[in-house]
């Protein structure tokens, strides 16, 4: 006789997607035995996740609201020859707040527990301990695959306590007035408190290589140029996010067809920005509504959901190819400057991943900021 599983659901990896799944199930299906397993000292790692107010439905905004650390009614963008205040809401979630909310919700968790192996119903830890579940969801971050062609968004940030107020009333989502290096470079600034800012040096680059020392120096130079004096560095964070250009999604899913996946491992992120908060909220809602959470049903449901999102994002991958393949790397910023001349309603739909046919026509109409023939080749260079 086969022994009963230890858990109804084990979530391998205590990052954004799995944490939101655990939280949503705790809200809607508290009878389920759900365990979060994380290799690090705490859930969420050392990250900041952001989203636009229009990315989520009102109900999704409501249930995910406890995680939000800061909200702003607008944000700024800065380009050579064009500066704009975008009157759209913006919000951020810090990993510290993320972990605190999950602890307060009473989520079962196992920390400092590196995962050695995952199957659809079993998880083996690095110390040899084996746990069984009705289903195991692999949410341990993006898994490289030869079936996707990628570019990268990479960043290095410093969370700073300043000697005096910075004077910002909202984020600077892109400051591309800085010198261009390694592709499209911009500075990203989140003003968490009147005298606290997160300043990130960010790149849309062809290579995932990140030189923390060089980027740290560039952050410090930018901070000094703003006239800000640093009292202390509260923390640092860095990351490399995939930007999808094209790929064979059938082959990618065939690598582990029966394994439930979540988050970046399931390819659930905005293909152009790399933002993952909204996609993680949508997946948590989708899973919580499923009638059964056994491994075969869950794997099939997640794959169908991810494939729908992949099909819906085809136009964004075409834009990515134009950005990375059609012009010189140090002139990629001109495409983003053009984008931020469009109406706010279009910008909202873009970040929500919900462009209308007329939006797509408008984005491609007029004189492109890159050479026409390379732009056409980039648009046609796709697999699925």
pLDDT in tens, 116-137: 999 999 999 999 999 999 999 9
Number of residues written out for the chain: 384
- For the stretch 277-319, pLDDT in tens is 999 999 999 999 999 999 999 999 999 999 999 999 999 999 9
Q: What is the mean pLDDT of residues 153-176?
A: 98
CA–CA dist 34, 134 (Å, integer):
10
Asked if the model's pLDDT at residue 371 lies above 60, the reply is no
Can you give the pLDDT at residue 2? 59
Structure confidence at residue 327 as a pLDDT band (50, 70, 90): confident
Q: What is the mean pLDDT of residues 325-334?
A: 88
Structure confidence at residue 1 as a pLDDT band (50, 70, 90): very low
Q: The pTM is what?
A: 0.94
356 with 310: CB under 8 angstroms?
no
Q: What is the mean pLDDT of residues 240-259?
A: 92
CA–CA dist 49, 67 (Å, integer):
10
Mean pLDDT of the chain: 94
Structure confidence at residue 4 as a pLDDT band (50, 70, 90): confident
- For the stretch 91-107, pLDDT in tens is 999 999 999 999 999 99
Q: What is the mean pLDDT of residues 48-65?
A: 96
Share of the chain above pLDDT 70, in %: 95
Can you give the pLDDT at residue 381? 67
Structure tokens at 192: 């968490």
Can you give the pLDDT at residue 85? 97
53 φ, ψ to 5°? -60, -30
Q: What is the mean pLDDT of residues 202-215?
A: 96
Q: What is the mean pLDDT of residues 345-373?
A: 85
């Amino acid at each position: 006789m086969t022994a009963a599983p230890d858990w109804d659901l084990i979530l391998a990896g205590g990052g954004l997607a799995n944490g939101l799944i655990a939280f949503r199930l705790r809200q809607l299906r508290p009878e389920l035995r759900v365990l979060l397993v994380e290799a690090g000292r705490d859930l969420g790692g050392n990250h900041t996740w952001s989203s636009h107010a229009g990315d989520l439905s009102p109900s999704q905004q409501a249930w995910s609201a406890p995680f939000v650390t800061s909200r702003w009614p607008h944000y700024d963008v800065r380009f050579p020859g064009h500066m704009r205040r975008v009157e759209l809401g913006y919000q951020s979630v810090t990993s510290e707040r993320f972990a605190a909310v999950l602890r307060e919700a009473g989520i079962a968790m196992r920390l400092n527990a590196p995962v050695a192996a995952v199957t659809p119903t079993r998880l083996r830890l690095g110390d040899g301990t084996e746990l069984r579940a009705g289903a195991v969801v692999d949410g341990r971050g993006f898994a490289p695959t030869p079936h996707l062609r990628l570019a990268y968004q990479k960043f290095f940030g410093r969370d700073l306590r300043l000697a005096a107020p910075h004077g910002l009333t909202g984020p600077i989502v892109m400051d591309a007035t800085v010198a261009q290096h390694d592709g499209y470079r911009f500075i990203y600034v989140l003003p968490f408190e009147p005298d606290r800012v997160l300043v990130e040096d960010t790149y849309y680059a062809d290579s995932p290589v990140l030189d923390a020392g060089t980027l740290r120096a560039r952050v410090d130079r930018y901070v000094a140029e703003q006239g800000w004096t640093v009292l202390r560095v509260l923390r640092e964070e860095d990351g490399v996010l995939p930007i999808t250009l094209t790929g064979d999604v059938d082959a990618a899913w065939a690598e582990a067809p029966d394994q439930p996946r979540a988050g970046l491992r399931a390819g659930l992120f905005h293909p152009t920005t790399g933002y993952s908060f909204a996609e993680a909220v949508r997946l948590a809602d989708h899973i919580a509504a499923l009638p059964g959470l056994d491994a075969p049903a869950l794997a099939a449901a997640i794959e169908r959901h991810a494939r729908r999102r992949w099909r819906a994002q085809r136009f964004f991958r075409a834009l990515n190819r134009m950005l990375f393949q059609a012009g010189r790397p140090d002139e990629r910023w001109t495409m983003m400057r053009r984008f931020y001349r469009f109406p706010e309603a279009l910008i909202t739909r873009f970040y929500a991943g919900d462009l209308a046919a007329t939006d797509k026509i408008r984005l491609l109409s007029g004189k492109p900021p890159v050479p026409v023939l390379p732009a056409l080749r980039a648009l046609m260079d796709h697999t699925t």
